[in-house]
Chains A and B, each alone.
Chain A
């Protein structure tokens, strides 16, 4: 699904990593680990098409893709450090806005059942401002579930999530892989994903 060849990343003058090679098959996941400052976020942003690699190439379904390529934007669901929520909008409005932005067609019922699933059903009319950090993260999980994107790129997805939230994330990722999706996750914390489907990539090691 997604292939990476001889990828190198740099931030300003600092070389972060070089010669990174891996392949994420449909139904498989890559978990990226490594100490702070080794370029996990930089790598994931490259995979999402947000920044250009210093060297090497990224292939989607066998075709080389440039940053912001339309094929990449249509295939990838990216969740970065920042939750992309607006304090002024309610949980439901935030979710609906993000799904529409990604070209999603889920109707109000699907939105509500997605919020139910991430245990925000009863808080869907509250402004995001009053939600906790973990609850805000859960809106992001509901978004992922609704997007129908074959490739998930998740940067530190467990941040601020409680045990139930982490379990929910693992279920969502498993469902996604079961449907033939692929995922790349950067995380410090074990998610409890099936080891047979997960490759591990250690940066700075």
Chain B
């Protein structure tokens, strides 16, 4: 056996460790976000595939009809938003599933940090790797739909406000369907897509309103309010769902 002794803490150290419980919600959030981002960067190819899915879905719609300029400009916001919904949905099953499969999720749930904060950190990483790229890519894809600069600005603003809601709500669904037969895709879609409806309506509606000269402020404000509500509520629901899935 190795003679190198591990520094053994004195018995009193146990008490110190027990006293240092989870005051650090922020530390937990940072841990989860940093770890998931690091893991995502180690498998960049998967991120690329998700974005390509978004690009391809958006490019398919004009092929299914006469690519007439006005028609495409009318449909564009909706198509871009539906594709964003699908791209978010596609990446959601893995949000908790890999951690569940390798045992990390148990350690996450047993961490002294609040589980809500750890879940929020994972959602933040999910949004940074799926929602944000989708929003940043949208102006490029909007060219295919002949959207004018003003509409594109509103579209991107809407996506920046709306895609975090998709990640937050999606986390609840992903946690609820953890480890279930067929839980990966279709069940998650059934649970989550109906809840995505308001985001789709306000997001695509913002661009429509801007194009109609009505101003997008109301729609964007509602998206912002929805984001605030989702930020407050969904981490608790997702954390509860994770605990239920582990039980």
Contact = CB atoms under 8 A, between A and B. Distances in A.
Contacts of A86: 39, 102, 104
Contact of A116 (B2, B113, B243): B2
Interface in A76-101: 76, 78, 80-86, 88-89, 97-98, 100-101
B3 to A, nearest CB: 10
Sorting the interface of chain A by its residue count into under 10, 10 to 19, 20 to 34 or 35 or more gives 35 or more
Contacts of A19: none
A179 interface: yes
A98 B110 CA distance: 11
A39 interface: no
Given A74-B112, A88-B42, A101 B31 contact: yes
A103 B11 CA distance: 18
Interface residues of B, number: 40
B18 A68 contact: no
A52 interface: yes
B213 interface: no
Contacts of A52: 247
18 contacts: A52-B247, A70-B21, A70-B112, A73-B111, A74-B17, A74-B20, A78-B110, A82-B101, A82-B106, A86-B102, A88-B42, A89-B39, A102-B111, A110-B7, A148-B9, A148-B16, A149-B14, A181-B14
Interface of B: 1-2, 4, 6-11, 13-14, 16-18, 20-22, 24, 31, 35, 38-39, 42-43, 101-104, 106-113, 115, 243, 246-247
